[in-house]
């Protein structure tokens, strides 16, 4: 941080997700609000708020389960309602254990469950 720029000096650059259904996973990421940066045949890159990039890598077979990252949204209830209307079948909203958050989960096409948390950023610039 500096006097001219009060934001933290580091951020997450890239997170990775493997998919055995790259086209469907890519469409899912666009549907939930990510911006396409690179739509390749073996890898697709998406941009999230804050400049973080999600790199989706094609793989022959993946194990379903929790995604290796979670996401945060500005309005959890509105996002849940939107995802429901899109047919994404989000889980019910619940209170997170040991954290001041609410959350829900959505399964993406390759079988990973992505957890969406309510916003909890500080009141300082990020």
- pLDDT for 1 equals 58
CATH topology assigned to domain 14-118: 2,3-Dihydroxybiphenyl 1,2-Dioxygenase; domain 1 (3.10.180)
The mean predicted confidence, pLDDT, of the chain is: 92
* pLDDT of 45 above 80: yes
Q: Spell out the domain ranges in the chain.
A: 14-118
pTM of the predicted protein model: 0.90
The residue whose two tokens read 């996002």 is 79
- pLDDT for 2 equals 63
* Average pLDDT estimate for 80-86: 97
**Inter-residue contact 64 to 109 (CB < 8 Å):** no
Q: Residue 73 to residues 18, 32, 50, 117: CA-CA distances in angstroms?
A: 22, 10, 12, 6
- pLDDT for 11 equals 84
**Inter-residue contact 18 to 25 (CB < 8 Å):** no
- pLDDT for 6 equals 84
């Amino acid at each position: 941080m500096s006097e001219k720029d009060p934001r933290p000096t580091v951020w997450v650059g890239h997170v990775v997700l493997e998919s055995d259904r790259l086209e469907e996973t890519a469409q899912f990421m666009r549907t939930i609000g990510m911006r396409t940066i690179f739509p390749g045949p073996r890898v697709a890159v998406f941009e999230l708020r804050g400049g973080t990039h999600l790199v989706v890598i094609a793989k022959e077979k993946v194990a379903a389960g929790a995604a290796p990252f979670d996401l945060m949204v500005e309005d959890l209830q509105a996002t849940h309602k939107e995802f429901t209307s899109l047919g994404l079948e989000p889980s019910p909203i619940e209170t997170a254990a040991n954290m001041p958050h609410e959350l829900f989960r959505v399964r993406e096409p390759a079988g990973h469950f992505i957890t969406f948390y309510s916003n909890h950023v500080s009141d300082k610039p990020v």
